Structures are given as C-alpha cells and as structure tokens.
C-alpha cells in the first residue's frame, strides 16, 4: 500500500502548463481527494499519478521508488473512469475479468475473483448483460469492480459520480466510503463537487489553474481556507464575500461594512484599509427561527431555494453582492419580503483585498 | 390563460415485441396560471407527458383538454404553446434579434411592434447586449436565455420547460431561477416545469407531481410532499438525504405494540395503537422517518455510527441499528465519530408508516 | 495514450508500412514526371533535354484549350445539376416518406448507379445512346425522329447526362445524411414558432446541409475532372475532338501519339490542378463540424 | 394529401424510373437474342415481348471473357487485403497520435491528395516503371498498383471509425495491462467490427470497378472484365447481348455489397464520420 510522493511535477499541452509544478504527499491506506473546478488540471494530475501520461518535469515516487517512467500496470494502479470506459462489445463479466485475463490468470481463479467482487458491489445478477443494457449506477459499479478485482495498490476514481442521477449519487457516496474502509487500499478520488470531497476525503488537495492551492483535512480547509477562491469553492453552499474596511482610530480598531460595524480587540497585525469579508451561509440564521445573534441586520428576499430538507434564502442586504442564508427547514417566503438575519463574529473570515489571502478568523479578533 | 386537464392519458412506445409504457394512465389538473413541477428520475415519463401537452406526441389512450376544449389531436401550432428544451435550440445562422423576432414576423406583426417587444423581452431576460450576435458564438448560458426570450415573446397560453437549467453553470442557474420565478409571478402564466432535480421543483413550483415509471405518485405542495409523502418512493426521493425506510414486523405484547425485526430492533409504537387497530393491525409495515427527525443522544434504540458526512451546518450520520441501517441529520454540535455507539430516538409525530407491498402510506 | 513514453517511436512504426508501399512507386512517378518535363523522347533515341520547350508547347496548344473548355462545361454544369437534383430528391425523400424503413429502402435503391463501375455505366449508356440504341427506339416508337445522341454537337452533353445518371446519388446521399442529422427539436421549435415552410428551410434545414452541399459539389467536381472511363469506352474522345476533355487528351498524348515528353508535361499540370481542388475540399470538409 | 405531396411523389417515381430503368434494360438485354435487342417498339418485358435465352452467357463462359472476372476477383481481393492491413496501422496512427511526426494533419492531407490523384496523369509514368522493371502486364504489377491507390481510401475510412472509439476505453485497456498488440487485437479490431468489414467491402468494390490501370498496366495476358469490354466492340457488328451480359455480371458484386452494408453506406461516404 504505497505512500505516494509527487515532486515538482509539471505537464504542458501545446505549451500551456495544465499541471504546474505540483508537489504533495498522499499518505498510505487513506481516502485522498483531489478537488478542483473544471479545467483545473485535476484529471491530468490523476493521469500522471496513474502513469497514463508522462510528466514534462518532476518525479513521482511510490514508497520512495521512482515510478515516473512506468505505466499503470507496473505501478499496480487501477482506474475507474468518469465515463465508465467499459468495453461495449464485452459483457459485464468479461469487462471485470479483463485485467485478470491480461495477467493470464487461470480461468477458474478469474471466475472466482469476478463473482466475489460482483457480489460485493451487488451487481452479480447483471454479469451477463452488455454495458448498453445497464443503468448508470450499474455501469459505475462494473467500472469500480474492474478497478478492485486485480487488487491493485492504488485505486483512482475519476469523478465517478458525476454522470449518475442525483439520488443514486447520495447512496453511492456512502458506499464508496465503506469500500475504501473495507479494502484498506489507497483510494484517490478526483471530483469537482466540494460536497463529495467534504463527505469522503480524509485529506483533500484543492486545485486551481494547475496548482495545488491548499492541502489538508476537511476541517483545516473549511476553517482556514488559504484564500477567497478556496473559501468560496470549498463549502456546501458558496461562501458570501463582500467588501469591508479595517478602521484604526487612536488604538481602537473596528471592522466596518455598509450595514454593520464590529469593534475589534487584538487587530494589531491587521493592515488598515479595505478587506474582503467572508461569511458562510450555514453560519448565518434567520432570527424568526433561531433567535438573535451577535450581529443582526435586515435584508430583502430575492429567492428562496428549497434544497430537499433545507432552504437557501438569497437576500439583498445592501452589501452589493447578494447574501445566501442557509435555513435547516423548508422555508418558503414571497419575493421582496423583509427578514432579519444574524451571525456570530467568530464565524467571520477576513481576507486581504490585495492578494485575497486569509488574514484572520472572527474568533482571532475578538478573543 | 389556460387550465390544462389530462384525462387518463397513456402513451405506449415500441412495437409488439418491445412495448414501453412511458406514461401510464395519468390524470392531472393544472389550474390556470399555476406553476406546476413534474419531478422524477430520468426515464419516468415526465418528458413524454410534457410532449403530449405540447402536442409533439399524441397519447395512445386518454384525452387532453385546454380550458374544457379537447385539444388531443390539435397540431402544436394550434395550441399556442411555447417550449424551452434541455439544450438551447436556436436558429444557428441568424442573429439573436432575428431568432427572437422570427415567431412574431411569422405572425406578420408590424415591424415597429416587433422591435418594441424584442427590446422589452431582451431587457427582462438580460440579453440586450447580445442581440446583434450569432448564437453559435455565445456560451450555453446566454443561448438558453435567448431560448427563454424566444419562448416568451409569443405570449403563449402555456409555457413548458424541459429541464432548462441542467446545462447552465451554478451562477447562471441561480440567476435564471430567479428570473423564471419573477416571470411566472409577473405574467401569471400557466407554467409546467420538468426536472429530475428536487431543488428546482421545490424552489419554483407551487404544486409538484412526483412521477416514477410512468405514474403520478403524488401531486401536492412541496410542504405536503415533505411532511406526508403518499408512498415510500416520494419519501425517499424528496429531501436530502431521503426518508429512512425500515421494514419491520408489528408485534403485540401484553397490550403494548412494538415494531420489531429479527435482529433485535424494537420500537414502542403504542401511542398510535388504536389508529393501527382501526386499520386492521397489519402484520408487517415500513417505518418511514426523515433523517432530520432522528434524535441522537438518548432513546430506546442503540446504533453504531459507520460514517460521518459534513453538510455545512449539519452532519449526516450513517448508522447501523441492529440489523437495519439508517441515517440521521443533526446539527454539528452533536459530536460523533465512526465506531461510536449511540442511543437514538424518533420524533413521534414525524413517524410515517407504509404498506410494505404497495409502498403506499398507511398513517 | 502514454505519449512521451519509451514507445514514442510507435507512431512512426505505424506509418512506415503504408509510406514505404506508396512511395516505392509514387516516388518514381513524381521524379519521372519532373525529369520528363524538360526532355523529349524521339523514338529509338535517348531522351533529349529541351528546357522549357514542352511547357511552351503546352501554352500554345490550341487543342488543349479546347479540351479545357469542354472540361469546364462537362464538370461544371454536370456537378451543378447533380448537386441540385441530389438535394431535391434528398429533401423530397425525408419530407414525403415518413416511414423510416420504406424511406431507407428507397434511398438504397436510388444509390445503385454509383456502386456500379464506370465501365458498366458506359455499357448501359452506350446501349441507350448508340444511334440504333434504346433511346432512339423509344423515340421512333412514339413516332418521333431519332436524336443524334453521339453526334459532334451532342456527344459531350450525352456523356454528362450519363454521369448525372450515375453520380447524382452521391450528393443525394451526403445531403440526406446531413438532413437526417438535424435534431428533431429544431423542427419542433420551428413548428411551435409557426414558421412557414420556406422560413423553416432557410433557418433550420439550410444551415445544417450547407456543408454537405459544398463537400458534395467539390467531390463531384474533382471526380468528374479525373475520371475518363466513360470517354474511353463510349466516344473515345470523338467524334473528332467533340468529346475530348483534358484527361482524355493526356491519355491520347500518352498512349495514342506516344508523345512522352509532352504527355508528362500535361500530366504534371493536371496533377497540380487536382491538388489545388483537393485543398479546397479538405478545408470545406474540416469546417463542416 | 395536398397536391404538393402528390406532385412530390410523382417526381420521386420519375426519378426512380430514371435511375433503375437503364439498368433494367441492360439486364434484360443480356437475356435477349441479338435480333431482339433493338426493336421498335423496344422489347422490354421478358416472355411477353421476347423469349429470354442464355445465349450471351454461354458465349462468355465458352471464351476467355469468363476468366476476366476471375482476374478482377484475384487482383481486387489481394490488393484490398494488403491495403487494409497497412491502412489499419496508419489510420490508428493518424487517429491517436495526431501531433506525432508523420501522423499529423499535413501528412493526412498528402494521403488525401493521393486519393484524388487523376489516374490519367500517373498512368504513363506507372506503365514506364513496370516496363522498366520488366513486370508490365503481370498480376504483380496490377496488384501492387491497386494496393497503392486503395491505401488512401482505406486510411480515410478506418480513421473515421477509430475516432469514434472513446479514448478512455483505450486508457482502460492500458490500465488493465494490455500492450499495444493486445489492445489492437482485443479492443480496436472488435470495436471496429462491422465498420471495418464495410470498409473492406468498399475498398474491394473500388478496385473491382477500376478501369484505366487495368487497361494500361495490364490488359494483355492479365485482363480484368472492365479492360476486356473495349475488345467486344472491335468487330464490325457489336454483340450487344454479350456486351450487356458482361455489364450485368460486373454489376452483381456492387449489388451484393450495397445490400449487405446498406446500414454503413451513409457513414462510409461521410468518411466514416
């Protein structure tokens, strides 16, 4: 079960760096996640780790051994592709057995292994069917079975759930987690859905424009996003970002915005002048349901978006950008209605307006 | 405006060998000016139902009425219906202005009138600066807005949308949802919105018909679908994550009533014993409870935590209780790690019971 | 594919067999043509260097200009008719015959002529157009006078008609395929917008089939220019020079008069023209996505 | 039905007669006695207008004319096999390594121009080449020439079909441990399947129908049915029924291929797209 090390790896396509000088370590036997928006280079990074592509610069080490020039088989890596990549002319059984046939294993051993993994993924009743006859969920299970059957050291899942119907994705997420725990192999998940990364990845690498912007556990990235991009991108509902200002008058500092002002205790190392304030919708609440908070203000409803059991209320509170407030219930109101919302100061994020780096959390300023 | 009534509509595709019942005896009453959602997984017949209303498909059985007039055999052009497809369908080689104006020109409206209306609609949908462009060079978000404007300009009596937002990126999706809501409220149009994503249906529609395998399972307001689903499918499909469904036997012991399973799962439901007796005390039943109404900390049941999912201000606990699995959705204040053993209980008034064979709600 | 890996020589190995086979002969052909361009081959004597003599002779050769004009008439008008007729039949097929199975069967029947050899088409049209042939039999049966199909005045036109008979199915096929690839939603929207048939054609059908029409036209233009089978089998360029197009003139110079040097010059010139038309075809074909 | 529809159907019917009529006349002529061929009014319905006879066919099968069909078969088949094998490899290169040397778009365009090369412009140098090699009018010369001129068509069609195989399926095969050879045999060829068969048929048909090279590169000892046709008109009286019979026999393979690969005809002529 290799500990994977990526050292200054770069890959250029027609001169443009798709993966730009990436270095990271993926611990052994973990559920590692590479998260990034479309065209952030995450799929290419996966292909480099898998050995489907060779880097133009840098090295890749499995347990300290340089595998940069080796292909997927020598690296004992298995891949489940985003579009399933099943062989259309082979039955589900032959698709799963394909890696074992390539290894020229005896027929009965192949049959035993395929049946075992098919039962495990609950598709043993569909083995004689061709991919065109399978549902999305079933095709995904066959793709994962094909990756698991040859007990490779590393299993790479390239956006495995993106093609699935919304509801099936919910169940598959829990199952992927269960699978990783039971097979104890190194699983690397590539995804564009932050919610998927949050619920599955023990360690997450957030990528943007070919670089690793932040790497850490779910809590690290959620609590201490390195900049506005990670703050906005890494969350169930996109973080609210609006302009504010640090004002320092005769050694009394305060954080001022268009509609509220907060006195700050230790703001010594904060630069004066404009800053970007971040506030997660789930850290805000509607007074009518959750009572008063440390800071409260009024906003006009633009849209109430019911997301299954919760609701995201979009309000215009005069801060320029619309604010999103997360309400843990079905909460439908007319457009234009006024509601009071609030938040606690400790949940604030302060970013520099120059390079958008995280300067401090609300808790650091009033502690 | 138009009230649409589908009377036992059925649509069967394919020849004798391979018959597919896409729409199975659907009766649906869409009041005038209402915004109705058709919600269901892919392949449940919702798009076919839509196409029957638009006249693009003719039903195998059953009739379609617009305001008491039988339009079943009417051509689409006679029904004054406008439709926005999942992928923006525009005329590729003429400008956005001409794309929007064409339906009016086809109806021989005076030039000045056409120009005024196009300006107005372009303003409403927010594509004024693209009027001179050719669609082929615009990104999919703008193209879908143009398709929306094209559908609106004709002032149709029925406005049909077939999963119009799926191709858009998240930002454009929020923007267009807001616009659709404004348009619907402003123009008081009868609107039918097909989607497989519950968020869009619950957000936009006043009433939603949940469909599966060609049948309408429930036709009600979002709150009703959420609080008392008519059957197990609706319970599972609405809400994220969906309702927990636990099959168990009904056991009567020294005048107390329990739900129990072979693996030791036992829950006292004496508080609804008399209603159940009135229904003839079924031997086994499906217990339905939404993850949000599973209480962690104290309670008669024991459950092992298998996996924890963070969902912003709430966490989803995947639990194994005796021989059954269920999920709980609790505030992040509840500290639980995989492997912990917890005591759980259910919010009594939120418990639902379903018939295991038909899946329909009993209580 | 693991590009950049040790198997980076694989792409070249893939191309080697085809390249070796092709250039073993085509290489000689091009070299020979270029060499002969500047030489004359008097019978029985080694080739003499004549510098630009052949090229000058070509530019002054009135018979060549006659052939060029006839080729422009034959290939130009022929292609135009084939594409227009092909489009008309393709659109008629799609609009009139709604049942997919029957429509496809009729299409396949219509494609028959283009599958036949040019030589077999020549057999067919010789028997039709020869003075005592079927066409004149039908005319006389109707009490009309026999028509001089293969006379000096009409031979080239008759050959064009024969080519139209055999090759209209190609534009028909390409335009039919393009028309069938149009998503049905495009016509549903046009129906909902209550567009007139002509407007529907202008904004829905035409944008999709435009490329197929261009590609079909270029394809036919190239192949009418480079194919001379019918000319050898039916009229052999006659009567006189009446049906002598460029290709046939090169053929006659090469094998009739055995005027090697001059024949090579003509061949070289016609190669260049073919490459140019192919270049336009290649761009049109690429842009059709 | 509107009158426009009726007019449309009449037009289609006329086009049908225009397309199939001449071929029908040729086929029935091949079953006529010489005297019945051209008559006023023309005899067009067998048994009603004339008594069909196999006279023409007996004459063909009693002379070397029959052997010309065998020659065509041999030459077309061998050349097709070589062209397909060589073309398959090249097409795979053009499809998967479109930025590698010799596989880029420019070399693909060069190959395309070979397909559009005017035969009349290259037949003289080719004849000179085979005379120089002492192989003129031999099976080898004709087969080798035919192979060269069918490779571009084969590559052009097969590349289209390979483009349709998703790259991720091949990546999966790489990940499963298949080397290039195994990937080609186990994944590419089976997935090409009927498309490849249709390409083989079309390339073969292209050679079965060829005339100019058959006439000049060979045409003496080694002569195909197309090259033999001119010889039927040398005498003062053309035996029209024999001439028609040769044409009819020559038209049989195209009919079979058209019927067998009708599903693929559309995709073939679009260059496999």
pLDDT in tens, B47-84: 999 999 999 999 999 999 999 899 999 988 889 899 99
Token digits of residue B121: 């609609």
Is A180 an 8 Å CB contact of chain B? no
CA–CA dist D85, D199 (Å, integer): 12
* Overall domain count for chain C: 1
Find the mean pLDDT for residues A350-361: 91
Query: Are C192 and B107 within 8 A, CB to CB?
Result: no
Report pLDDT for A156. Answer: 93
Q: What is the band of C288 on the pLDDT scale with cuts at 50, 70, 90?
A: low
Going from the C-alpha of B204 to that of each of B196, B215, B230, the distances in angstroms are 13, 22, 21
CA–CA dist C27, A206 (Å, integer): 56
Question: Which A residues, 73 through 112, put their C-beta within 8 Å of a C-beta on chain D?
Answer: 73, 77-79, 81-83, 85-89, 98-99, 102-103
Q: Looking at the predicted structure, is the pLDDT value of residue B245 above 60?
A: yes
Query: Are C189 and B83 within 8 A, CB to CB?
Result: yes
Q: What is the band of C2 on the pLDDT scale with cuts at 50, 70, 90?
A: very low
Strands in A211-217's sheet, in edge-to-edge order, are A77-80, A154-158, A186-191, A31-35, A203-208, A211-217
A chain contacts of residue C7, beta-carbon cutoff 8 Å: none
Q: Is residue C7 part of a domain?
A: no
CA–CA dist A283, C129 (Å, integer): 90
- CATH of residue C200's domain is 1.10.3720.10
Q: Is residue C45 part of a domain?
A: no
Report pLDDT for C3. Answer: 44
Report pLDDT for C1. Answer: 43
Q: Looking at the predicted structure, is the pLDDT value of residue C5 above 50?
A: no
Query: Are B102 and C203 within 8 A, CB to CB?
Result: yes
Q: What is the band of B105 on the pLDDT scale with cuts at 50, 70, 90?
A: confident
Query: Are A88 and D169 within 8 A, CB to CB?
Result: yes
Q: Looking at the predicted structure, is the pLDDT value of residue B91 above 50?
A: yes
Q: Is residue C258 part of a domain?
A: yes
Q: Is residue C54 part of a domain?
A: no
Q: Looking at the predicted structure, is the pLDDT value of residue A247 above 60?
A: yes
Task: Spell out the domains of chain D, with CATH numbers in brackets.
Answer: 3-53 (no CATH), 59-271 (1.10.3720.10)
Q: Looking at the predicted structure, is the pLDDT value of residue B89 above 50?
A: yes
pLDDT in tens, A46-59: 999 999 999 999 99
Report pLDDT for A367. Answer: 67
Is A161 an 8 Å CB contact of chain D? no
Sign of CA dihedral A26, A27, A29, A34: negative
Q: Looking at the predicted structure, is the pLDDT value of residue D83 above 70?
A: yes
C chain contacts of residue B96, beta-carbon cutoff 8 Å: none
Token digits of residue A349: 């994020």
Find the mean pLDDT for residues B118-145: 90
Q: Looking at the predicted structure, is the pLDDT value of residue D100 above 80?
A: yes
Report pLDDT for C7. Answer: 56
CA–CA dist A101, A230 (Å, integer): 44
Give B219→chain C minimum CA distance, Å: 28
Strand-pair category, B266-268 with B256-260: antiparallel
Q: Looking at the predicted structure, is the pLDDT value of residue D182 above 80?
A: yes
Q: Looking at the predicted structure, is the pLDDT value of residue C289 above 70?
A: no
pLDDT in tens, D101-151: 888 888 888 888 888 889 999 999 999 999 999 999 999 999 999 999 999
Q: pTM score, two decimals?
A: 0.86
Highest mean pLDDT among B53-67, B174-188, B266-280: B53-67
For residue D264, the SS3 value is helix
Strands in B69-70's sheet, in edge-to-edge order, are B20-30, B4-13, B61-66, B69-70
Q: Is residue C81 part of a domain?
A: yes
Length of chain A measured in residues: 367
Residue B66: what are its φ and ψ, rounded to 5°?
A: -110, 115
Is A53 an 8 Å CB contact of chain C? yes
Q: Looking at the predicted structure, is the pLDDT value of residue C126 above 90?
A: yes
* Whole-number average pLDDT of chain C: 91
Q: Looking at the predicted structure, is the pLDDT value of residue A182 above 90?
A: no
For residue A327, the SS3 value is strand
Domain extent at residue C112: 61-288
Nearest CA in chain A to B313: A282
* 3-state SS, one letter per residue, for D212-242: HHHHHCCCCCCCCHHHHHHHHHCCCCCCHHH
Q: Is residue C156 part of a domain?
A: yes
Q: Is residue C41 part of a domain?
A: no
Is C54 an 8 Å CB contact of chain D? no
Q: Looking at the predicted structure, is the pLDDT value of residue D82 above 90?
A: yes
Q: Looking at the predicted structure, is the pLDDT value of residue A270 above 50?
A: yes
Residue B316: what are its φ and ψ, rounded to 5°?
A: -105, 120
A chain contacts of residue D174, beta-carbon cutoff 8 Å: 52, 71-72
Beta partners for residue A279, in sequence order: A240
Query: Which of D98, D166, D175, D194 would best serve as a mutation to test chain A binding (most A beta carbons within 10 A)?
Result: D175
Find the mean pLDDT for residues A129-147: 90
Nearest CA in chain D to C90: D12
Beta partners for residue B303, in sequence order: B342
Find the mean pLDDT for residues B148-168: 88
Token digits of residue B64: 């379609």
C chain contacts of residue D93, beta-carbon cutoff 8 Å: 11, 14-15
Q: Looking at the predicted structure, is the pLDDT value of residue D89 above 90?
A: yes
Q: What is the band of D273 on the pLDDT scale with cuts at 50, 70, 90?
A: very low
Which residues neighbour B129 within 8 Å (Cβ) at sequence distance 6 or greater? none
Q: Looking at the predicted structure, is the pLDDT value of residue D268 above 80?
A: no
Give D168→chain A minimum CA distance, Å: 5
Find the mean pLDDT for residues C218-232: 93
Q: Is residue C132 part of a domain?
A: yes
DSSP state of C75: I
| Residue scoring higher pLDDT (D242 or B255) | D242
pLDDT in tens, C158-192: 999 999 999 999 999 999 999 988 988 899 999 88
- Compute and round to an integer the Cα radius of gyration of chain D: 23
Q: What is the band of A29 on the pLDDT scale with cuts at 50, 70, 90?
A: confident
Q: What is the band of B336 on the pLDDT scale with cuts at 50, 70, 90?
A: confident
For residue D82, the SS3 value is helix
Query: Are B102 and C195 within 8 A, CB to CB?
Result: yes
Is A52 an 8 Å CB contact of chain D? yes
Q: What is the band of C4 on the pLDDT scale with cuts at 50, 70, 90?
A: very low
Strand-pair category, A252-256 with A261-264: antiparallel
Q: What is the ipTM of this complex?
A: 0.83
Report pLDDT for C6. Answer: 47
Q: Do chains D and B touch (3 or more CB pairs under 8 A)?
A: no
Q: Do chains C and A touch (3 or more CB pairs under 8 A)?
A: yes
């Amino acid at each position: 079960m290799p500990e994977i090390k990526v050292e200054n790896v770069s890959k250029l396509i027609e001169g443009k760096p798709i993966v730009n000088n990436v270095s990271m370590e993926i611990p052994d036997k973990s559920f590692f996640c590479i998260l990034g928006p479309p065209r952030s280079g995450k799929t290419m990074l996966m292909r480099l780790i898998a050995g489907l592509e060779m880097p133009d610069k840098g090295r890749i080490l499995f347990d300290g051994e340089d595998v940069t020039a080796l292909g997927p088989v020598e690296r004992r890596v298995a891949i489940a592709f985003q579009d399933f990549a099943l062989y259309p002319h082979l039955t589900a059984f032959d698709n799963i057995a394909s890696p074992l046939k390539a290894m020229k294993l005896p027929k009965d051993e192949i049959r035993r292994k395929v049946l075992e993994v098919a039962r495990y993924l609950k598709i043993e009743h569909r083995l004689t069917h061709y991919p065109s006859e399978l549902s999305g969920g079933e095709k995904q299970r066959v793709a994962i079975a094909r990756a698991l059957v040859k007990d490779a050291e590393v299993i790479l899942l390239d956006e495995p759930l993106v093609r699935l119907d919304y509801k099936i994705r919910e169940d598959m997420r829990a199952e992927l987690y269960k699978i990783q725990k039971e097979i104890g192999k190194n699983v690397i998940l590539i995804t564009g859905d932050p919610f998927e990364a949050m619920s599955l990845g023990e360690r997450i690498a957030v990528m943007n424009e070919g670089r690793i912007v932040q790497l850490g556990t779910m809590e690290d990235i959620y609590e201490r996003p390195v900049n506005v991009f990670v703050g906005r991108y890494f969350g169930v509902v996109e973080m609210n970002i609006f302009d504010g200002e640090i004002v320092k008058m005769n050694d009394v500092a305060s954080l001022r915005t268009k509609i509220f002002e907060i006195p700050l205790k230790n703001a010594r190392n904060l630069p004066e002048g404009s800053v970007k304030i971040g506030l997660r919708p789930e850290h805000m609440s509607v007074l009518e349901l959750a009572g008063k908070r440390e800071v409260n203000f009024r906003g006009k409803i633009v849209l109430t978006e019911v997301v299954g059991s919760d609701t995201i209320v979009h309000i215009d509170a005069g801060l320029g950008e619309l604010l999103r407030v997360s309400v843990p219930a079905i909460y439908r109101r007319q457009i234009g209605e006024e509601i009071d919302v609030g938040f606690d100061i400790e949940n604030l994020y302060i970013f520099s307006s120059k390079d958008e780096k995280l300067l401090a959390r609300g808790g650091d300023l009033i502690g | 405006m138009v009230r649409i009534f589908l009377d036992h509509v059925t649509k069967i595709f394919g020849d004798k060998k391979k018959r597919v019942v896409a729409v199975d005896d659907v009766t649906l009453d869409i009041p005038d000016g209402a915004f109705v959602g058709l919600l269901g997984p892919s392949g449940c017949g919702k798009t076919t139902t839509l196409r029957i209303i638009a006249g693009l498909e003719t039903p195998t059985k059953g009739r379609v009425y617009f305001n008491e007039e039988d339009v079943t055999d009417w051509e689409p052009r006679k029904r004054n219906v406008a439709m926005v497809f999942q992928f923006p369908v525009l005329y590729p080689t003429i400008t956005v202005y001409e794309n929007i104006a064409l339906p009016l020109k086809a109806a021989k409206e005076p030039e000045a009138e056409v120009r005024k209306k196009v300006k107005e609609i372009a303003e409403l949908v927010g594509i004024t600066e693209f009027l001179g462009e050719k669609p082929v060079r615009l990104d999919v978000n703008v193209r879908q807005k143009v398709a929306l404007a094209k559908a609106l300009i004709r002032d149709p009596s029925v406005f049909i949308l077939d999963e119009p937002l799926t191709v858009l990126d998240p930002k454009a999706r929020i923007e267009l949802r807001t616009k659709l809501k404004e348009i619907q409220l402003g123009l008081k149009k009868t609107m039918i919105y097909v989607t497989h994503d519950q968020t869009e249906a619950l957000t936009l529609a006043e009433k939603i018909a949940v469909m599966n395998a060609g049948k309408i399972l429930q036709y009600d307001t979002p709150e009703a679908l959420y609080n008392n689903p008519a059957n197990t499918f609706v319970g599972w499909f609405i809400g994220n994550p969906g309702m927990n469904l636990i099959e168990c036997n009904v056991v009567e012991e020294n005048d107390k009533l329990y739900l129990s399973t072979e693996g030791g799962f036992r829950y006292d439901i004496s508080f609804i014993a008399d209603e159940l007796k009135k229904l003839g005390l079924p031997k086994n039943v499906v217990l339905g409870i939404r993850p949000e109404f599973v209480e962690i900390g104290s309670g008669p049941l024991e459950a092992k935590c298998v996996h924890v999912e963070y969902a912003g201000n709430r966490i989803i606990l995947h639990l194994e209780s005796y021989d059954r699995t269920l999920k709980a959705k609790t505030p992040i204040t509840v500290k639980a790690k995989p492997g912990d053993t917890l005591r759980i209980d259910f919010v009594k008034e939120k418990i639902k019971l379903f018939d295991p064979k038909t899946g329909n709600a009993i209580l | 594919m693991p590009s950049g890996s040790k198997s980076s020589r694989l792409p070249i190995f893939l191309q080697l067999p085809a390249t070796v086979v092709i250039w073993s002969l085509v290489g000689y052909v091009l070299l020979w043509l270029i060499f002969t361009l500047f030489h004359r081959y008097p019978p029985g004597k080694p080739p003499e260097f004549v510098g630009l003599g052949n090229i000058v002779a070509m530019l002054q050769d009135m018979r060549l200009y006659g052939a060029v004009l006839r080729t422009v008439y034959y290939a130009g008008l022929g292609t135009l008719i084939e594409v227009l007729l092909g489009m008309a039949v393709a659109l008629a097929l799609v609009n009139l015959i709604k049942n997919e199975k029957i429509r496809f069967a009729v299409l396949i029947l219509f494609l028959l002529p283009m599958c036949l050899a040019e030589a077999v088409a020549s057999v067919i049209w010789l028997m039709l157009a020869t003075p005592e042939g079927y066409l004149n039999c039908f005319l006389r049966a109707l009490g009309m006078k026999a028509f001089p199909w293969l006379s000096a005045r009409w031979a080239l036109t008759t050959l064009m008609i024969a080519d139209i008979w055999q090759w209209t199915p190609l534009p028909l096929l390409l335009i039919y395929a393009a028309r069938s690839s149009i998503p049905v939603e495009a016509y549903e929207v046009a129906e909902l917008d209550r567009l007139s048939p002509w407007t529907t054609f202008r904004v829905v059908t035409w944008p999709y089939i435009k490329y197929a029409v261009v590609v079909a036209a270029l394809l036919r233009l190239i192949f009418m220019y480079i194919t001379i089978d019918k000319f050898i089998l039916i009229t052999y360029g006659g009567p006189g020079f009446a049906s002598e197009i460029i290709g046939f003139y090169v053929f006659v110079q090469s094998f009739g008069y055995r005027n090697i040097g001059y024949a090579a010059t003509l061949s070289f010139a016609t190669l260049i023209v073919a490459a140019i038309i192919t270049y336009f075809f290649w761009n049109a074909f690429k842009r059709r996505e | 039905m509107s009158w426009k529809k009726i007019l449309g159907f009449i037009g289609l019917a006329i086009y049908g007669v225009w397309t199939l009529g001449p071929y029908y006349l040729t086929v029935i002529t091949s079953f006529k006695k010489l005297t019945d061929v051209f008559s006023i009014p023309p005899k067009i319905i067998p048994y009603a207008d004339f008594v069909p006879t196999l006279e023409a066919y007996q004459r063909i099968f009693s002379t070397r004319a029959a052997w010309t069909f065998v020659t065509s078969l041999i030459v077309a088949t061998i050349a097709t096999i070589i062209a397909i094998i060589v073309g398959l490899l090249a097409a795979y290169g053009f499809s998967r390594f479109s930025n590698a040397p010799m596989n880029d778009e420019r070399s693909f365009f060069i190959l395309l121009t070979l397909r559009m090369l005017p035969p009349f412009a290259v037949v003289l140098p080719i004849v000179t080449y085979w005379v120089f090699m002492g192989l003129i009018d031999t099976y080898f010369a004709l087969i080798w020439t035919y192979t060269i001129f069918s490779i571009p068509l084969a590559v052009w069609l097969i590349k289209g079909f390979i483009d349709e195989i998703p790259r991720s399926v091949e990546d999966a095969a790489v990940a499963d441990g298949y080397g290039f050879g195994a990937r080609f045999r186990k994944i590419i060829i089976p997935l090409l399947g009927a498309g490849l068969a249709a390409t083989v048929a079309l390339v073969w048909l292209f050679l079965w129908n060829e005339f100019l090279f058959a006439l000049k590169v060979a045409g003496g000892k080694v002569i195909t049915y197309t090259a033999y046709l001119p010889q039927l008109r040398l005498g003062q009286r053309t035996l029209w029924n024999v001439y028609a019979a040769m044409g009819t026999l020559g038209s049989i393979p195209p009919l079979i291929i058209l019927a067998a690969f009708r599903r693929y005809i559309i995709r073939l002529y679009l260059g496999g797209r």
